[in-house]
Amino acid sequence: MRNAATILHLDMDAFYASVEQASKPSLRGKAVIVGGLGPRGVVATASYEARVFGVRSAMPMAQARRLAPNAACLVPRFGFYKAISEQVMALLHALSPLVEPLSLDEAFVDLEAGEVAWDDASARLVGEKLRADIRAGTGLTGSVGLAASKMLAKIASEEAKPDGLVLIEPGTERALLGPMPVRTLPGVGPATGDHLRRAGISTVDEIAEAGEDELVRLLGRAHGQALYAMALAHDDRPVVAERETKSVSVEDTYDVDIHDRLRVGLEVQRLADRCVRRLRGAGLSGRTIVLKVRRYDFSTLTRSETLRGPTDDPAVVREAAARLLDTVDTTGGVRLLGVGVSGLADFTQEDLFAQAAGERAERAAAEGTAQPVEAEPADEPAEAEPVPAERRWPSGHDVRHGEFGHGWVQGSGLGRVTVRFETPGSPPGRVRTFRTDDPGLEPADPLPLVARGPGTTFAEVS
């Protein structure tokens, strides 16, 4: 580890929900939940106002609504979140060539590699300026952790939340980590945490006291050795510059083996939905669906299916994962399940439909196999008007009305859509209800967020 706190970890505060609050004046200071609104939808992010009621990421949306019945529940706008993320990441790249993004709202930065910090004092100045630049450029807040290692920088940013900065001075790491719960350390999830707790180990100090041999006995060589090193605050992992994503995947390890085949299937469907949310969050799609199953005897099976084109459709991924599960024997129980997507692209299968149709027509013409167009029945008009499908209006998404201007969808159903007309820089706007097929109402692109100076609140901007 280095001798100065020159590794920075940035974590944007309740990112998706904060973007929604910044773009919708009527939601500022109120509970906001972003996620899927269907029967099996889950929470992607909750604002701090919603977290007061116990709402958390990955919670079923139905449960979140019960906990916070007055919260605004919005469908994610991943394209907009990605655009804001690119603004933030550009600020990080201006600091150093070594930026390691972890997601749209989180990244490590090696400040020494950028020659912008060389000791604790200069690192702190860089961190404070970064937070001010993010606020000035996007109107959002981020929490910054500074330390001599990646592990500690991430722990520091968590301690800094929300909208703060924490620097862990080299030499103080052991004292800081000691009383923290074991779940603080990277790689200690619910299953490992429970396993350690049953062995009488609940804090980082107790991990260190148990010793490497005991941890290897409890968790296996690789995991035990890594956990012991982290408990001693040893972490030499470098900040790795951004690399092309090869795949997107999620997996869960279960405390008790799952024997019920129906539940295994439901878990695979849930993982498929999580995987697609992560895929869409990165602005990607993929052709190959991968299923991972670790059975009761620790044998691990992997199955894959390659589609005809890339997709980010959750139904498609769920169906492919279910087909793959049909090929796996889960008799005896399942310890781990995972769903992944590889063969990534920045377009979807739907983008290929027109191209593919054109290619088929060209091949048919070249081979002389083109089929004649059938004549219309005599009692039908030659060019009947297609029946338009009812337009969908996702909650939280942007719209524009010819008379009332820019707004966003508060809700829709029973042939009606309710819209609040306001912009990021306006006061809270008025609400109006329209028919879903109102010709004056159209989907719109999001408007830029209103930047805030240091110390400015959303209320002052409004």
- Any alpha helices (H) in 43-198, and if so which ranges? 48-51, 61-67, 78-93, 120-138, 150-160, 173-177, 190-198
**Rounded to whole angstroms, what are the CA distances from 173 to 60, 167, 232, 437?**
36, 11, 8, 61
Give pLDDT tens digits for 260-285. 999 999 999 999 999 998 888 777 88
Q: Which CATH class is domain 247-350?
A: alpha beta
Give pLDDT tens digits for 335-359. 899 999 998 876 544 433 333 333 3
Average pLDDT over residues 40-59: 90
β-pair type (398-401, 405-413): antiparallel
- Residues, the chain: 462
pLDDT, position 457: 55
Active-site residue (options: 20, 106, 267, 422): 106
CA pair distance 242, 265, nearest whole angstrom:
35
Return the residue matching tokens 């008379």: 403
Residue 381 CB neighbour total at 10 angstroms: 8
Give pLDDT tens digits for 200-241. 999 999 999 999 999 999 888 888 898 999 999 998 889 988
* Catalytic (active site) residue 106: yes
**Rounded to whole angstroms, what are the CA distances from 85 to 104, 125, 345?**
5, 22, 19
Give pLDDT tens digits for 312-324. 889 999 999 999 9
Output helix, strand, coil percentages for the chain, rounded to the nearest 5. Answer: 35, 25, 40
- 3-state SS class at 285: strand
Enter the DSSP assignment of 116: S
- CATH no. of 176-231: 1.10.150.20
Burial bucket for residue 455 (CB in 10 Å: 0-12, 13-18, 19+): exposed
Return the residue matching tokens 């879903």: 436
Percentage of the chain exceeding pLDDT 90: 61
378 confidence band (pLDDT: 50, 70, 90): very low
384 confidence band (pLDDT: 50, 70, 90): very low
- 3-state SS class at 419: strand
Among 257, 439, 446, residue whose Cα is nearest residue 336 = 257
**Do the Cβ atoms of 264 and 258 come closer than 8 Å?**
yes
- Which residues, in sequence order, are bridge partners of residue 60? 42
Enumerate the CATH 3.30.1490.100 domain ranges in the chain, comma separated. Answer: 247-350
pLDDT, position 354: 35
**Residue 139: left (phi > 0), alpha (psi -120 to 50), or beta?**
left
Enumerate the CATH 1.10.150.20 domain ranges in the chain, comma separated. Answer: 176-231
- 3-state SS class at 6: coil
453 confidence band (pLDDT: 50, 70, 90): low
**Do the Cβ atoms of 339 and 272 come closer than 8 Å?**
yes
CA pair distance 210, 152, nearest whole angstrom:
21
β-pair type (32-35, 72-74): parallel
Question: How much is the pTM?
Answer: 0.71
Residue 197 CB neighbour total at 10 angstroms: 14
Give pLDDT tens digits for 177-188. 999 999 988 878
